[in-house]
Structure 1
Amino acid sequence: MKKLLPLLGALVLCLSCGGVKVKVANPLKLNRTDETVELDWKEVQKRLPGITPEDIVVIGPKGEQLPSQVLYYGGVEPQSLIFQATVGPRSSTTYRLESGMREDFRAQAYGRFVPERMDDFAWENDRIAYRMYGPALERTGEISNGIDIWLKHTDSLVINRWYRPGYDYHTDRGEGLDCYKVGRTLGAGAMAPYEGGKLWLGNNFTGYKVLDNGPIRVTFQLDYAPFPVDSLTVTERRTISLDAHTPFNRITEEYTGDFDELRVAAGVVLRGPGGRVIDLLDKPIRKVGYWEPLNTDNTPDNGHTGIGLVFPCEIKVETRLGHLLASTVIPQGKPFTYRMGAAWSKREAPTSEAMAQLILDETAKAEHPLVVTFK
């Protein structure tokens, strides 16, 4: 027995050194490029005994180390391992997990609380940036829980640079700009209770928590003070996650209060002449899109912004109360997740048709995720 123990230890070490293969299969005719796949950390540890977040390495099909991230979901124990896969139409690609020295990859997804700018919370990836408004701004009388967009030419992260004193991010200096106006609306796809034919808008967020922060995914929670919804009082928690290489966020809403279910609507503010709803109508309806009119703030041509929303269920679509609204009913206290993304005519969506294709592709990816298996 004493002789067997060292042999078993050597076998485990050998298996760990050799790594384990992971097959990523694509069920669609669509090419999937740099799309995030997620592995349960306990399963990774089971396959690679002794592996730690500090020495887990993902190897691509050409033998190169790929960026990866261990997710903690705001806790202290690792929960998942993510990396990004590229898989051709109706094919598969094999990756390898092993123990090794992790390379220091540049972050491509990032977010932070910005107290120096009236408590904004801003987040971004290599494609686009977004922000929400916090308590300091609310105290000035500017109240909104809608989503704001920052448009980018560059793959670089810009939040910290654009927030430097004296920087005018409303003017395009070659990297992009903020020309999107939110006001007291849902902005670019936020959600609100929609009872009695009325939108019940909350105020600015009161608290935040960063759950994970790059290099591939940023995830954070925003909490809102209780607010009236008809005769009810409702509390909201909004959790937002953005991965590298995609303009689409995953937004999870959780409403609690003295009710069994609540009608809610995610909405995009309408801009008037030149703006139009993107024709995506099919049955059942699970996605909407809006193409903004030409923006001329500060310059004659800031281009157009396209916005898309994708849902896990059938929705009711209407244009009223100054918004393109997509509504459904959700149970009290149960998280509801949808996708929201935006793209710029000066980058990824030169036309409304190109924006429509981005939304259609995102819908297909949501309905047919990459299939991941250990080999």
Structure 2
Amino acid sequence: MKKNLLLLTLLAGSFAAFSQNKTITVTNSLAVDREFETIELTKKSLGLAANAKLEDYVIKDAASNAFLETQTVDNDGDGTADVLLFQPKIKASSKQDFTVAPGTNPSASKTENCYSRFVPERTDDYAWENNKVAFRTYGPVAQKMVEDHIEGGTLTSGIDAWLKRVEYPIINKWYEKMTSGAGTYHKDTGEGLDNFHVGDSRGVGGIAVKADGKYYFSKNFISWKTITTGPIRTSFILTYADWDAKGNKITESKLISLDYGSQLSRFEINITGAKEIAAGLTLHDKKGTTGTNLKEGWLSYWEPIDDSEIGLGLVAPKNTMTSFDNHVTDEKDLSNLYGNIAVKNNKAIYYVGFGWKKGSPYQTKQEWEKYLSSFAQKINNPLTVKVKK
């Protein structure tokens, strides 16, 4: 009798373990190969128990049994992971099976290729990067320095581009080089440099609100919150002081994320006081060439920068970019190519970034705009996931 009980116990344990394995099918509806697109799995979508921990699960290719890189994210800050991220490679017009199972990935990356942080040692920047691009923007101390006429401050809610040409992280290295006096990130010694001017412009994706023909925008961010860093995604929130657009009180915060392999950051603007925002790409000294495609939902600006060239790009989900404005003025730094994006339920979403000729595959305006067109097609036709029962 004891042997039978032991056998039943072992069998029950085996079935319980088996029931935790899930097979999911990822489908690509487009006639192009797909990679570097992030899929989010939740406990609910996987049919896991409420007390299950996503950190305890791995993802394998069902055919090869090879591990895929994963990352868990606690989006709401309650101490429990909300999503399990992974990036499959899916051939054109095809589907592929993956296994989600309890376990540990022995080859998990220990490098945070998608990284962001507050940078108090350089006044109070907030900087972020992945393996392709890097960005930063500026905080309240930098603003106050300008207002108090102290040298070294920065007053703008525009977004700066750091032109990296290496796959590995550079943010900490460049800041340490600058603050220690060992060098400067304004000179390219093989990894790239910061030679991108922002000033009062919108830089790469800063926002404005238009009222009676004039553009208004916030000052520097006043607070920040890092949500996650890792091999697949970094995300964070920047909050701004209330600001005025010709009598309209505007409240603004930005949820920004950047995924591995992407040239573009995702911006989710939470805003009140405006039915539409204008997301901008700086036109600098107006020596570049604009490109626009409202039907596909993207804008571009290709321009010379020192001894190279750079493409700026803005992509909005289908039917959310209602119009654009190639706003050219003699006022310093205020010429921007604006995409006008509808605000729905106090939110507006777009993707924005760049491709530097020295640090990306995009060597011409045509190649850059082909990337933007492909990016738009993919966000409007996302990979779909079905959990097999």
SS at match of 2:314: strand
Contact 1:25 1:91 in 2 (8 A): yes
SS at match of 2:275: strand
2:322 to 281, 294, 315: 315
State the Cα deviation string for residues 339-365 of structure 1 (Å, max 9, x = none): 112111112211111100110011001
Contact 1:54 1:102 in 2 (8 A): no
The aligned counterpart of 2:131 is: 126
Post-superposition shift, 1:92? 1.5
The reply on whether 1:100 has 2:103 as its aligned counterpart is: yes
1:219 to 215, 226, 235: 235
Q: Which moved more, 1:234-243 or 1:57-66?
A: 57-66
The aligned counterpart of 2:171 is: 159
Q: Which runs of 5+ in 2 are unaligned?
A: 147-153, 330-334
SS at match of 2:35: strand
TM score, norm. by length of structure 1: 0.90
1:116 to 103, 112, 121: 121
> Match for 1:197: what amino acid?
G
State the Cα deviation string for residues 69-101 of structure 1 (Å, max 9, x = none): 111114112211110011111112221111112
For 2:261 and 2:278, how far apart are their aligned partners in 1? Answer: 27
SS at match of 1:23: strand
Post-superposition shift, 1:55? 2.2
For 2:94 and 2:56, how far apart are their aligned partners in 1? Answer: 30
The aligned counterpart of 1:12 is: 16
For 1:318 and 1:43, how far apart are their aligned partners in 2? Answer: 41
The aligned counterpart of 2:372 is: 359
Post-superposition shift, 1:128? 0.7
The aligned counterpart of 1:255 is: 271
Post-superposition shift, 1:144? 0.4
Contact 1:195 1:263 in 2 (8 A): no
For 1:170 and 1:62, how far apart are their aligned partners in 2? Answer: 46
SS at match of 1:15: helix
Post-superposition shift, 1:286? 1.7
2:45 to 43, 46, 53: 43
The aligned counterpart of 2:57 is: 56
Q: Which runs of 5+ in 1 are unaligned?
A: none
* Identity across matched positions, percent: 31
Q: How many residues align?
A: 359
The reply on whether 1:305 has 2:315 as its aligned counterpart is: no
Post-superposition shift, 1:43? 2.9
The aligned counterpart of 1:210 is: 226
SS at match of 1:34: coil
The aligned counterpart of 1:290 is: 301
| Cα root mean square deviation, aligned | 2.1
For 1:14 and 1:64, how far apart are their aligned partners in 2? Answer: 19
Post-superposition shift, 1:285? 5.6
Q: Which moved more, 1:352-361 or 1:46-55?
A: 46-55
For 1:270 and 1:34, how far apart are their aligned partners in 2? Answer: 29
Q: What pairs up with 1:141-156 in 2 under 5 angstroms?
A: 141=146, 142-156=154-168
